[in-house]
Amino acid sequence: MSQAYDHCNDFVKRFSYERYLSTLYAPIIARPSLIALYAFACEIARIRELVNEPMPGEIRLQWWHDALSGTDHGDVMHNPVAQAIIETIEHHKLPREPFLNLISARRFDLYSDPMPTINDLEGYCGETSSTVVLLASMILSGKPADRQLSDASGHGGVAYALSGLMQTLAWQASRHQQFLPKDVMERHGVDANALRGNRSNDAVWAAFEEMVELSKKHLDDCESALEGIDPSVLPAFLPVFQVELFFNEADKDSFEPLQVCGGAPHMRRVWHMWRTSRRLTKLSRK
């Protein structure tokens, strides 16, 4: 497990730095399992980037589905991420269904279909992001999730995923993907071709602002749900609140939605996570 964990640790540090940082706030004994979970989430999310057409992506997703459901293709344990996540699932007795639902939801990434509605987008974010927050919380607490934790994870994961998608609108368009919901685009009169430019028109701005406000609402609901929660689960929510850094950037007059946001400087992210940790700890004591 040590070599598999080392691989996962480097992988998460490279592709999901805020999640890597958050594990440093968790008990040492829980860190390998959290890293395995986050590596799995990154691995599945990156499949679209690694294939040129849907079929190879479908094959990769099916391999992961079979690996986690027990009908593996080939020697699963030769894949360090698969080895780490399977051992994590078995050690913590985690339910497999959320993992399989996450894999199924990521099939949307492989195609160029537009996201139909806001509700569909929130459902996608729930399956691909809220699930990860919830499973991380279960690893940390050592017990099944109650209603309060499920609510906090649901809202937090949606806020996290929505913010990430709103930071990459132009990049998505360059890959012929459209996560900005069709109903939102129609409501504001957004032409899909406008998302392929480098300057936002009024319609794009209006749609972008609506989605950012939705993300902020989910974050507020997440924070409300964390009041009085078991403090052991708080490290699972630290990556979620990093989206506040994006909100700060989006509020600036110089911000452009169709320019890929590079994110806050390293030390600002570290500082913000430390402050968030203190804030959430106080919230859990109410």
**Residue 72: predicted pLDDT:** 60
Which token pair is 266?
A: 């390293």
Question: Across the chain, what does the average pLDDT equal?
Answer: 94
Question: 161 pLDDT band (50/70/90 cuts)?
Answer: very high
Which token pair is 163?
A: 């913010």
63-78, pLDDT tens digit by residue? 999 999 986 655 787 8
> What mean pLDDT comes out for the span 161-190?
92
Question: 196 pLDDT band (50/70/90 cuts)?
Answer: confident
The residues facing 178 across adjacent strands are 114
Which position has the higher pLDDT, 92 or 192?
92
Q: Give the three-state DSSP class for 74.
A: coil
**Residue 1: predicted pLDDT:** 57
Q: Please give, one letter per residue, the 3-state secondary structure of 18-30.
A: HHHHHHCCCCHHH
> What mean pLDDT comes out for the span 131-158?
98
Rounded (10°) CA dihedral 94, 15, 109, 249: 110
Q: What is the C-alpha separation between 57 and 111, in angstroms, rounded?
A: 10
Q: What is the C-alpha separation between 268 and 244, in angstroms, rounded?
A: 11
Question: 36 pLDDT band (50/70/90 cuts)?
Answer: very high
Contacts of 172 (CB under 8 A, 6+ apart): 165, 178, 179, 195
Structural domains in the chain, sorted by start: 1-111 (1.10.600.10), 112-286 (1.10.600.10)
Supply the pTM of this predicted model: 0.96
Q: What is the C-alpha separation between 46 and 91, in angstroms, rounded?
A: 26
90-115, pLDDT tens digit by residue? 999 999 999 999 999 999 999 989 99
